[in-house]
Structure 1
Amino acid sequence: MRLARVLLPSSPVPRIALERDGCLYDVAELERRRDEPLLDENSFTAEDFFARVFSVGGAGLDVLDDGLCAGERPTEARLWPDELLWLPPCLPERALLVQFVDAPEREEPRYHLGNPRGLLGHQESVPFPPNEPRPDVEISIAALLGDELRAATVEEAERAIFGFTILLGWVAREQERTSGPSRARDFAATIGPVLVTKDEAGSLDEARVRLRVGGVIEELARLAAPALSFAESLAFVSRHVTLLPGDIVGAPPIEGGSEAARRLGLAFGATLEVAVDRLGKIAARPVLGPEPPPYRRVKG
């Protein structure tokens, strides 16, 4: 399955959508058209993304997706991308964000905890700290979890992965130079636009990654199998941090991604598009944020 979380101008409540062949379909409308409901009316609504996707593993959504694959695609359920807002395919307020960093010289993985409340959706502008001379980005594949992991085995960690998506970790290099790596990344990351279930994503080893800024495209070298698998890295983290359904875990940044973005001329006001085989395409536009007010009173 390919799942999205979107906001329609006609409703303040985010909706769950299924993507198939580049088209989006409203889950609530697909369910209304069924003779027999897929949900117990007393459990949760069709719009409850966290409960529907992470708590109960996509209950009933596979049935709707099978219908789409079989050609049952009612026009009434179709969503038009130009008329909606893409939200992160997770619940940032209920997620932990774990980002692995590349550490080829170490036997143990290295990671840091990010700021999930800074997660932005597909096509959103990314406000950078106002003193940054230029934007930078680190491109990762992220796994989203469907089960709790606590001191897990590799097999348990593998089973806990619900699906994958694209993660753009924005970096304020001037902030990194003066204040360290955490503050340089906590202000924003872009995720999505779709969550692709593990069975549909398949093996992402050797997936192609393409970047585009303006009309210029660059393809990165195919992804190589990491020294540690996602499951091995998850099992390691779960020895130190309890991971819960809905948590987001980013793989080490894809080699050459940041350099390619700079070569393509990534600048404030320019749109970056990143496409990854089987995970789709994500777009974001870095901009300079406003000058913040003083954080302390000036004594007069």
Structure 2
Amino acid sequence: MRLARVLLPSSVLPRIALERDGCLYDAAELERRRGAPLLDARSSTAEDYFARVFSVGGAGLDVLDDALCAGERPTEARLLPEELLWLPPCVPERALLVELESTPAGEVPRYHLGNPRGLLGHQESVPFPPTEARPDVEVSIAALLCDELRAATASEAERAILGFSLFLGWVAREQERTSGSVHARDFAATLGPVLVTKDEAGALDEARVRLRVGGVIEELSASAAPALSFAESLAFVSRHVPLFPGDIVCAPPIEGAGEAARRLGLGFGATLEVAVDRLGKVAARPVLGPEPPPYRYTKAR
């Protein structure tokens, strides 16, 4: 399946959508038209997205997807991308974000905890700290979980992976120089646009990575697959941090992707598009954010 979380202009609550062949379909409308609704008006809520996607691994939604694959594609259920807002295919309020770091061969994985509240969706502008001279980005594949992991084995971790999505980790290099690596990344990240279930994503060993800025495209020679398998890395993380359904674990940055974005001339106001085989394409536009008010504090007496 290819699952999305979107916001329509006619609603203040997110909706579950299924994507097939570049077209989006409203899950609630698909179910209504089948005559035996498993989804009702409450399906628009973020809580329902969490329950139906992560708690039960998309059960029920897979029936709708099978119907789409069989050619049952009612136009009444079609959603127009230009008339909606893409949200991250997760529930940020209920997610833990773990970002794995590049680790030399033979060493144990290293990771840091990111800021899930800073997650943005496909095609959103990314506000950078106003002191930055230019934007920088790290491209990763993110695994989204549908089961709890505590001191897990690799096989248990493998079963806990619901699917994958594209992750753009934005980096404020000036902040990194003055305040450290984690602080330079906690202002924003981009996830999406879809969650591709593990069976549909297949093996990522040979998945190609392509970047585009302003009509110029560069394809990387490196694949999107991490050096350590996701299962091995998840098992390691779960020995230190309990992982739960809905959590997001990002592989180490894809080698050469940040350098390629710079070669393509990524700057403020330019749109970056990143495509990975079978996972689709995500786009974002870095911009300079507003000047923050002066920081004030009261000196202790």
Same fold by TM-score, threshold 0.5 exceeded?
yes
Contact 2:150–2:242, Cα closer than 8 Å, also in 1: yes
Moved more, 119-128 or 226-235: 226-235
1:105 Cα deviation after fit: 4.2
Amino acid at match of 1:70: A
- What is the alpha-carbon distance in structure 1 between the residues aligned to residue 232 and residue 222 of structure 2? 22
- What is the alpha-carbon distance in structure 2 between the residues aligned to residue 34 and residue 149 of structure 1? 36
The 5 Å alignment of 1:97-246 reads 97-223=97-223, 225-246=225-246
Alignment partner, residue 18 of structure 1: 18
Contact 1:268–1:288, Cα closer than 8 Å, also in 2: yes
Alignment partner, residue 71 of structure 1: 71
Q: How many residues align?
A: 297
> What are the superposed Cα offsets for residues 227-282 of structure 1, whole Å, 9 maximum, x if unpaired?
32100000000000000000000000000000000000000000000001000000
- What is the alpha-carbon distance in structure 1 between the residues aligned to residue 147 and residue 297 of structure 2? 46
1:104 Cα deviation after fit: 1.5
> What are the superposed Cα offsets for residues 142-183 of structure 1, whole Å, 9 maximum, x if unpaired?
000000000101110000000000000000011101110011
> What are the superposed Cα offsets for residues 111-150 of structure 1, whole Å, 9 maximum, x if unpaired?
0000000000000000000000000000000000000000
Amino acid at match of 1:38: L
Alignment partner, residue 45 of structure 1: 43
- What is the alpha-carbon distance in structure 1 between the residues aligned to residue 227 and residue 6 of structure 2? 36
Moved more, 63-72 or 100-109: 100-109
Contact 1:46–1:52, Cα closer than 8 Å, also in 2: no
Runs of 4+ deviating beyond 2 Å = 35-39, 44-47, 224-227
Q: Which runs of 5+ in 2 are unaligned?
A: none
Identity between Structure 1 and Structure 2 (%)? 83
TM-score norm. by structure 2 comes to: 0.95
Q: Does 1:268 align with 2:283?
A: no
- Partner SS state of residue 155, structure 1: helix
TM-score norm. by structure 1 comes to: 0.96
What RMSD, in angstroms, separates the aligned Cα atoms of the two structures? 1.6
Contact 2:141–2:224, Cα closer than 8 Å, also in 1: no
- What is the alpha-carbon distance in structure 1 between the residues aligned to residue 72 and residue 225 of structure 2? 37
1:37 Cα deviation after fit: 2.9
Contact 2:214–2:270, Cα closer than 8 Å, also in 1: yes
- What is the alpha-carbon distance in structure 2 between the residues aligned to residue 59 and residue 275 of structure 1? 28
- What is the alpha-carbon distance in structure 1 between the residues aligned to residue 97 and residue 44 of structure 2? 26
1:215 Cα deviation after fit: 1.0
